[in-house]
Chain A
């Protein structure tokens, strides 16, 4: 059974940084694209970023490009999202997900990031 467990969320001040992790199990992590998707309170999902299986290709939403960095450690079956220069509008539940380069068939339970002074 696929399991994705996010961690690292919390309260951070505007301009601050946070690193999210997603621990994966139940599938061959190193063979799959991985994604981060966020959802602000009361809003729809917004795709944030994706990374290919060997980590050589990454894509980002325009609103986070240059501030967020996605990475992965295939030896530890873990996905990361380094978030810098955080803004109030980055406040959301952040989910990791997988299945395909484009769609997400498996999702974690999410971790809440709150950007506030």
Chain B
């Protein structure tokens, strides 16, 4: 099973700031089969990025994904008030899918 480690655990930021979230895999992810999700309290996760860098339908272009192999990044170019949430990475390069532990982006 591929283990995904997200860092940092929590980020305290202000609206308008740029944020970079990291996710490291315990082994290389084939074909960049990698996704990012946003989750707010009481809601199901929401798909942001798939295929490491493809934005899902309706996701604003301030969200971008990059990376390959074992290191992946989600960047929010300019934080909006609605972006304060928990972010999870996920890999689907093996028959057992796994999620990371999450990074909470909170208001400073």
Write the B59-100 contact mask toward A (1 if CB under 8 angstroms, else 0). 000000000000000000000000000101010110111111
Identify 14 new A-B residue pairs, CB closer than 8 A, beyond the known A59-B97, A101-B92: A44-B99, A44-B101, A45-B99, A47-B99, A59-B96, A61-B96, A103-B50, A103-B92, A104-B47, A105-B50, A105-B57, A107-B45, A108-B44, A109-B44
List of B residues within 8 angstroms of A104 by Cβ: 45, 47
Known: A44-B102, A62-B1, A105-B56. A99 touches B47 (CB 8 A): yes
List of A residues within 8 angstroms of B100 by Cβ: 44
A95 interface residue (CB < 8 Å to B): yes
Number of interface residues of A (CB under 8 A): 24
Task: Name the residue of chain B whose CB is nearest to the CB of A95.
Answer: B44
Task: Name the residue of chain A whose CB is nearest to the CB of B4.
Answer: A44
B35 interface residue (CB < 8 Å to A): yes
Query: Which residue, of A46, A59, A101, A103, has the highest number of chain B Cβ atoms within 10 A?
Result: A103
Task: Name 22 interchain pairs, CB-CB below 8 A, sorted by A.
Answer: A44-B86, A44-B101, A45-B88, A45-B99, A47-B97, A47-B99, A59-B95, A59-B96, A61-B96, A95-B44, A97-B44, A99-B47, A100-B50, A102-B35, A102-B50, A103-B47, A103-B92, A104-B47, A105-B50, A107-B45, A109-B44, A110-B44
Q: How large is the interface on B (under 10, 10 to 19, 20 to 34, 35 or more residues)?
A: 20 to 34
Interface of A is mostly: strand
| Nearest CB in chain B: distance from A65 CB, A | 9
A72 interface residue (CB < 8 Å to B): no
List of A residues within 8 angstroms of B101 by Cβ: 44
Write the B1-37 contact mask toward A (1 if CB under 8 angstroms, else 0). 1000000000000000000000000000000010101
List of A residues within 8 angstroms of B35 by Cβ: 102-103
